[in-house]
């Protein structure tokens, strides 16, 4: 066990990669050396990190020599292609893609919820889907005490989940529409400015899209509840980088009171309760943006079901939904001597 680490970021120039750099710097992550890896297109690009200028290198199978921790956020196909090489070179891979999440050999971890799962890995630890993480930050503390039986969730997802280009498309389309111009979607499949649409991922035979399917199956794995009933409707909205979710939880044992739920949520690390009924102040994407905590509010007893409760959450998709959670996995493993 070393106390300073040779770190690599695969996909360093993307929306999540950029946040990796910011989080590592802000957290003063114990970095002995930092290798920035990206596709050929970004090779040679210079990026400042902690007062130094780093040169982006090309992501290849040979790029991981000497690396101890490799953060991957370059898409599922690149993770499948290059993560095994990183593991072979001796690195622990923390992978933000969907490539290995449902692999029974790969721990899928939200540190506040199931860090113990990270102890037994075979080189790869998976970072869950952003919507899954943000939902579970509110569901897990309640589930832990009162046992959730069923969750009905509808999402309000930011453009950032589709990458930096989708964020730029939202800005460009919005400007064009304000000027009265026609817009042609390029990155996202439909107009995103002043519009919303069902999540841009393939729909399966059950009528669920991939994002919804991830929320269902990843949540069960993280909570160790293979039988937890979940339905999800995932929607892309014209927001830049924080996801929101409307969550209905039905409990198996008993429904907590609003005060009990607020207390359990307040005590949970990484959650900030924003639930001011008088001032009509609840979680909002602009307040969740650039913030590490997931905001939780609208905590109320569901009048339609004596065992259910409603919540509303907002969390930064690029931070807790991606880069921050991955860095926290590494930090928690270091603190436990597992890295």
Quick one: which of 22, 45, 145, 150 contacts its own copies (CB under 8 A)? 150
**52 vs 182, beta carbon nearer its own copies:** 182
Confirm if 300 and 327 have CB atoms less than 8 A apart.
no
Q: Is 4 in the site for its own copies (CB under 8 A)?
A: no
Interior/surface letters 150-168, b for 16+ CB within 10 angstroms, e for the rest:
bbbbebbbbbbbbbbebbe
**58 vs 150, beta carbon nearer its own copies:** 150
> Which among 324, 339, 337 is positioned nearest to 111, based on CA atoms?
324
Subset of residues 225 to 284 that bind its own copies, contact rule: CB under 8 A: 229-231, 233, 235, 237-240, 244, 246, 248, 258, 277-278, 280, 282, 284
Quick one: which of 191, 219, 317, 328 contacts its own copies (CB under 8 A)? 191
Q: How far apart (Å, rounded) are the C-alpha atoms in residues 123 and 292?
A: 27
DSSP state of 255: P
The window from 20-28, 43-51, 115-123, 173-181 that contacts its own copies (CB under 8 A) reads 173-181
Quick one: which of 76, 87, 196, 332 contacts its own copies (CB under 8 A)? 196
> Which among 251, 223, 244 is positioned nearest to 298, based on CA atoms?
244
**97 vs 201, beta carbon nearer its own copies:** 201
How many CB atoms sit inside 10 A of residue 253's CB?
Answer: 11
Active site residue: 6, 130, 199, 234, which one? 130
Quick one: which of 48, 88, 190, 336 contacts its own copies (CB under 8 A)? 190
**58 vs 298, beta carbon nearer its own copies:** 298
Q: How far apart (Å, rounded) are the C-alpha atoms in residues 264 and 280?
A: 22
The window from 36-44, 95-103, 137-145, 174-182 that contacts its own copies (CB under 8 A) reads 174-182
Nearest approach, Cβ of 257 to its own copies (angstroms)? 11
Name, in order, each residue with C-beta under 8 angstroms of 134's C-beta and a sequence gap of 6 or more: 243, 245, 294, 313, 314, 315, 317, 320, 321
The window from 17-25, 66-74, 127-135, 203-211 that contacts its own copies (CB under 8 A) reads 203-211
CA distances from 140 to 219, 296, 318, 336 (A): 10, 12, 20, 22
Count of residues touching its own copies (by CB under 8 A): 58
Quick one: which of 76, 87, 102, 216 contacts its own copies (CB under 8 A)? 216
Q: Annotated catalytic, 243?
A: yes
The window from 25-33, 39-47, 145-153, 264-272 that contacts its own copies (CB under 8 A) reads 145-153
Q: How far apart (Å, rounded) are the C-alpha atoms in residues 37 and 227?
A: 39
Q: 77's torsion region: left (phi>0), alpha (psi -120 to 50) or beta?
A: alpha
Q: Annotated catalytic, 234?
A: no
Nearest approach, Cβ of 139 to its own copies (angstroms)? 13
From the number of C-beta atoms within 10 Å of its C-beta (0-12, 13-18, 19+), residue 48 rates as exposed
- Structure tokens, 228: 């937890």
Q: How far apart (Å, rounded) are the C-alpha atoms in residues 94 and 248?
A: 31
**32 vs 286, beta carbon nearer its own copies:** 286
Write out the catalytic residue numbers.
130, 243
Residues that bind its own copies (CB under 8 A): 150-152, 154, 156, 170-171, 174-175, 178, 189-191, 194-198, 200, 202-203, 206-209, 216, 229-231, 233, 235, 237-240, 244, 246, 248, 258, 277-278, 280, 282, 284-286, 297-305, 308, 310, 312
């Amino acid at each position: 066990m070393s106390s300073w680490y040779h770190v690599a970021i695969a996909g360093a120039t993307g929306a999540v990669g950029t946040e990796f750099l910011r989080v590592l710097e802000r957290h003063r992550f114990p970095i002995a050396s930092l290798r920035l890896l990206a596709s050929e297109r970004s090779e040679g690009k210079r990026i400042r990190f902690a007062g130094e200028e780093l040169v982006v290198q090309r992501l290849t199978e040979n790029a991981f020599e000497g690396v101890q921790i490799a953060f991957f956020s370059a898409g599922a196909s690149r993770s499948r292609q290059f993560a095994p090489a990183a593991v072979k070179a001796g690195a622990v891979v923390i992978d933000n893609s969907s490539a290995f999440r449902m692999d029974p050999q790969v721990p899928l971890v939200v540190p506040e919820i199931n860090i113990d799962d990270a102890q037994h890995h075979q080189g790869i630890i998976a970072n869950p889907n952003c919507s899954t993480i943000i939902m579970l930050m509110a569901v897990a503390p309640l589930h832990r005490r009162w046992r959730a039986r069923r969750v009905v969730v509808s999402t309000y997802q930011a453009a950032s989940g589709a990458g930096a280009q989708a964020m730029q498309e939202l800005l460009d389309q919005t400007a064009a529409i304000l000027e009265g111009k026609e817009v042609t979607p390029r990155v996202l499949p439909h107009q995103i400015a002043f519009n919303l649409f069902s999540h841009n991922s393939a729909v399966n035979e059950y009528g669920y899209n991939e994002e919804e399917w991830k929320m269902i199956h990843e949540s069960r794995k993280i909570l160790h509840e293979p039988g937890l009933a979940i339905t999800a409707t995932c929607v892309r909205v014209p927001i830049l980088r924080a996801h929101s979710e409307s969550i209905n939880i039905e409990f198996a044992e008993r429904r907590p009171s609003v005060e009990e739920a607020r207390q359990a949520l307040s005590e949970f690390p990484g959650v900030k309760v924003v639930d001011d009924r008088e001032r009509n102040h609840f979680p909002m994407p602009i307040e969740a943006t650039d913030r590490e905590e997931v905001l939780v509010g609208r905590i109320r007893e569901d009048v339609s079901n004596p065992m259910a409760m409603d919540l509303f959450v907002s969390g930064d998709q690029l931070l807790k939904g991606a880069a921050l959670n991955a860095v926290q996995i590494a930090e928690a493993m270091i603190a436990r001597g597992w890295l």
